[in-house]
Structure 1
Amino acid sequence: MQKKDSIVEKLAFLSVSFMLTSAYAVQGALPQLKVALNVSQTQAEYLATMPSFAVMIFVVLSPLLQTWLKVSDKQMIMAGVTLVGVMGIVPFFNLHNYALILASRLLLGAGYGLYNSQAIALISVWYEGATRAQMLGWRAAAEQIGQATTLFIAGILLTIGGWHFSFLVYLLAFVVLLFFALEVPNDRPSQDQPVEKLTATPDTITKTSPRVALLILFAFFLVVDYVGMENRFASLAVFLKGSAYTGAANYLSLMLIGATLGGIFYGAINRRFGFGTIYLGLGLMALANFLFYFGRNNFGLLVMGLLLIGFPLQLVSPMIFNLLPGLAPAKRQPLVTSMVLIGFNFGAFFSPTLAEWLNTMLNVPLKGTGLAAPFLAYGIALLIIAALIYLTIHGKRIGIKKSLPEMTR
């Protein structure tokens, strides 16, 4: 098949990534869902994070299912997007059954997991060289733009018709499905080196470093913090502004602009600061948490913390993937990358429970200003992590310093 590389074709490839983070589109409706379904704060938050649990499972199962069903990447992506559209709108038709809504959210996550890796693989197979790198960068940006857009649209729908109307945002999945089916060609092999060769690690690395486990835990904690702030912002905003307030989704959308900018400028910042980028990112994330905590009685500070946190997250999370090639052999790279992705998704899923545990440990009620309590602890933890990383690399224990050559570049 002749290669077109048209703008429309590229947008079609990117369109499926646009929907990958739409699980969080209904975060602005969580206060209304909590009241309508008569559930706890944590139960309401799980409606936003439950898809991440299924993503963890189906990211691993998807390649096996694809082999068993003997379908192409394009067909697997179309199946996943279809499942996202169908399961996404189920809560619109079921107004008061929490268990059924939670189950639909779980299956929504299965849809994301079915095509998460294929969305990357199809670009890697179809495009080569600099165009491939550009498309993969745009794909990451498309996720942030998609989350911001779906949050905004869901917020408008919330204002128009109530919380159940917010779930109509998933009708966009069918638009994406049609666009992708019509404009994306059938799979073809790339004309240059396979992706495995392009990402191969040096032959001197013969075993997986135990530091990979630390990076997985690090990824887990970063997303616990980030998603926790997303989940609790709407309820804190309603507490400060009144029960009729429905504008939280607008601020959640703006939050993702910062995350998008962080991804865009990561390369330039990393070239300037090198490994110091991680200290900058952790410091700014800690500041965002402190602003959010001290904004529990001040809407302006609350918003400042929310808008800030996305930018440094996109400075820190790419560093995790950049370190992996120096910590595992080439043949283990797909495995360790998948494990880090699972760390990210498990952090998103488990965020409500960990935040609730912190409220309990701090003896702070899980309501009103008490919803901000975990973020003081998160901010302090981020500063401790930054200090530990610095001491590990620059301390006097030469054995440790020599064992981290890739991290000190």
Structure 2
Amino acid sequence: MTGHSEPRVGTETSAAAGTSATEASGCPGVLVTLLLASTLGVMAGSVISPVVEVIRGDFGVSGTAAGLVVTAHALAVAVTSPLIGRAIDHCGVRIPLAAGLVLYGISGGAGLFTTSYPALIASRLVFGIGAAAVFTGTTVALLQLFTGPRRDRVMGWRSAANSVGGLVWPLLGGTLGGLSWHAPFAIYLVGLPLGVAAVLALPHTAPHRAARTRGGVLALVRQSPAVLGFYALQAAASIFLYTMVVFLPQRLADLGIREPLMVSLYLVVMTGAISSLVGLVYAPLRARLSYAALLRTAALAWAGAFTVLGTVDHPVLLLAGPALLGLGQGLSLPSLTVLVNESAPPALRGQATSLAGTVIFGGQFLSPLLLGPLIGATSSTVGFLTAAVMAGLIALTLTTVRMASSTSPGGSASASDN
């Protein structure tokens, strides 16, 4: 992958916006609000994954159709993210993020009262619009407000927050799922108070002065072709995560594990715990290793995870699969987020981040469609081993491709990252 050095986020904003951002970055309320909101992205689908089998039985639909309940919102995220990114580039992040959090809470909570499969899918599509604003808004805000080594720390904390959210919310969902498959949808209502907090805590930042110049996706790709490679890796990471989220319950059912709380433990405890630990130590890891080395390690972890899931039958040993997947997610998420941001011109960073949302959530949506027919025709173990081969090919590619980056380990300027 090739790329070029770009100024850090915030260096070309207006003086007023820069001052506001600097003051806000020192306010604990801003960071806490953004980190809490960041937990909502990863739990958008996983919070209801423990009740997928219950929903499938209640509505009498196929496993792939039930999987769409978990991933349908991702289609809306993929479609609407570029529009949200453009809005953020033009008017700042505060209002789009707050509005997205409110929509997230209302439409996500609609599953409490939905009694038909089509209505549930429709509510999930609307929910995806709010999720798109939450993902793009929190990412842009964190990258705007924090720079240098502190940004590496904050991005590691964000990865940890994502993992904690992916741990706590689905566990709560699994617990509530013991009451009714509708009950876990109440968790989405947390978006409402966070929307209010975003309005109160986040500063009003002016858009970049060049935000109204002609550009868009084509301009981004022309100026920063390396971003396409980073997007491809983000899509792969998302496909791998949701392959486990959607199809591990079926594998567990084959092993006699069907209780929603137990399913949530397999789905999120090991993945979330390991990913959180990696997020907490990401800054010192990044100080010693290049982005390329971190991404190669992530790909090898993905390959190992699906090899375990496809070959191990012992319930305890099977936990190594989610643990390795957590390692891969914890390394790839902050690395790719920063690489996408650094590859984009300042005026297009909102759109660059929104396109990351498109590929990440597009990967979520495609995951059951890509591997679902194969698993349906064969078994979940065959699907997992196929994913292991895909991850292995990614690791092999990353060992042979030269990756250019604007920063070397430790944050100093460098032309390449090997």
How far off is 1:153 after superposition? Answer: 1.1
How far off is 1:335 after superposition? Answer: 4.9
Question: Pairwise mapping of residues 39-54 of structure 1 onto structure 2 (< 5 A)?
Answer: 39-54=61-76
- In 2, the alpha carbon distance for the partners of 1:185 and 1:252 equals 33
**Which residue of structure 2 lines up, in the alignment, with residue 379 of structure 1?**
388
Q: 236-245 or 140-149: which moved more?
A: 236-245
Q: Contact 2:140–2:350 at 8 Å: present in 1 too? A: no
Alignment TM-score, normalising by the size of structure 2: 0.77
Q: Secondary structure at the match of 1:354?
A: helix
**Which residue of structure 2 lines up, in the alignment, with residue 215 of structure 1?**
230
Change (3 A) 1:189 1:130: farther
Question: Pairwise mapping of residues 240-255 of structure 1 onto structure 2 (< 5 A)?
Answer: 240-244=255-259, 246-254=261-269, 255=271
**Which residue of structure 1 lines up, in the alignment, with residue 59 of structure 2?**
37
1:283 has 2:300 as partner: yes
**Which residue of structure 1 lines up, in the alignment, with residue 177 of structure 2?**
158
- Counterpart of 1:18 (choices 27, 39, 48) is 39
Change (3 A) 1:151 1:383: same
Q: Contact 2:174–2:260 at 8 Å: present in 1 too? A: no
- In 2, the alpha carbon distance for the partners of 1:408 and 1:127 equals 22
How far off is 1:85 after superposition? Answer: 1.1
Q: Contact 1:292–1:301 at 8 Å: present in 2 too? A: no
Question: Pairwise mapping of residues 132-171 of structure 1 onto structure 2 (< 5 A)?
Answer: 134-159=153-178, 161-171=179-189
Question: Pairwise mapping of residues 189-208 of structure 1 onto structure 2 (< 5 A)?
Answer: 207-208=222-223
Deviations, residues 275-312 of structure 1 (Å, cap 9, x unaligned): 333332222211111111113x3322332202220112
Change (3 A) 1:121 1:218: closer
Change (3 A) 1:393 1:28: same
Q: 29-38 or 336-345: which moved more?
A: 336-345
Change (3 A) 1:276 1:237: same
Q: Secondary structure at the match of 2:255?
A: helix
Q: Contact 1:120–1:136 at 8 Å: present in 2 too? A: no
- In 2, the alpha carbon distance for the partners of 1:12 and 1:332 equals 24
1:89 has 2:109 as partner: yes
How far off is 1:28 after superposition? Answer: 1.0
Q: Contact 1:50–1:105 at 8 Å: present in 2 too? A: yes
Question: Pairwise mapping of residues 10-409 of structure 1 onto structure 2 (< 5 A)?
Answer: 10-23=31-44, 24-64=46-86, 73-95=93-115, 97-123=116-142, 134-159=153-178, 161-181=179-199, 183-184=200-201, 186-188=203-205, 207-208=222-223, 210-244=225-259, 246-254=261-269, 255-274=271-290, 275-295=292-312, 297-321=313-337, 323-324=339-340, 335-359=351-375, 363-364=377-378, 370-393=379-402, 406=415, 408-409=417-418
Q: Secondary structure at the match of 1:162?
A: coil
Give the number of the structure with larger relative contact order, counting CA–CA contacts within 8 Å between residues 6 or more apart.
2
Percent of residue pairs identical: 20
Q: Contact 2:210–2:347 at 8 Å: present in 1 too? A: no
Letter in 2 for 1:167: F
How far off is 1:242 after superposition? Answer: 4.9
- In 2, the alpha carbon distance for the partners of 1:260 and 1:237 equals 24
- In 2, the alpha carbon distance for the partners of 1:178 and 1:325 equals 27
Alignment TM-score, normalising by the size of structure 1: 0.79
Change (3 A) 1:216 1:234: same
- In 2, the alpha carbon distance for the partners of 1:316 and 1:289 equals 17
Q: Contact 2:234–2:359 at 8 Å: present in 1 too? A: yes
Cα RMSD of the aligned pairs, angstroms, is 3.5
Q: Secondary structure at the match of 1:167?
A: helix
Deviations, residues 236-267 of structure 1 (Å, cap 9, x unaligned): 22332255554211232312122222233333
Change (3 A) 1:294 1:371: same
- In 2, the alpha carbon distance for the partners of 1:12 and 1:407 equals 35
How far off is 1:92 after superposition? Answer: 1.4
Change (3 A) 1:234 1:82: same
How far off is 1:31 after superposition? Answer: 1.0
How far off is 1:30 after superposition? Answer: 0.8
Q: Contact 1:126–1:189 at 8 Å: present in 2 too? A: no
How far off is 1:101 after superposition? Answer: 0.4
Q: Contact 1:16–1:176 at 8 Å: present in 2 too? A: yes
- In 1, the alpha carbon distance for the partners of 2:143 and 2:135 equals 13
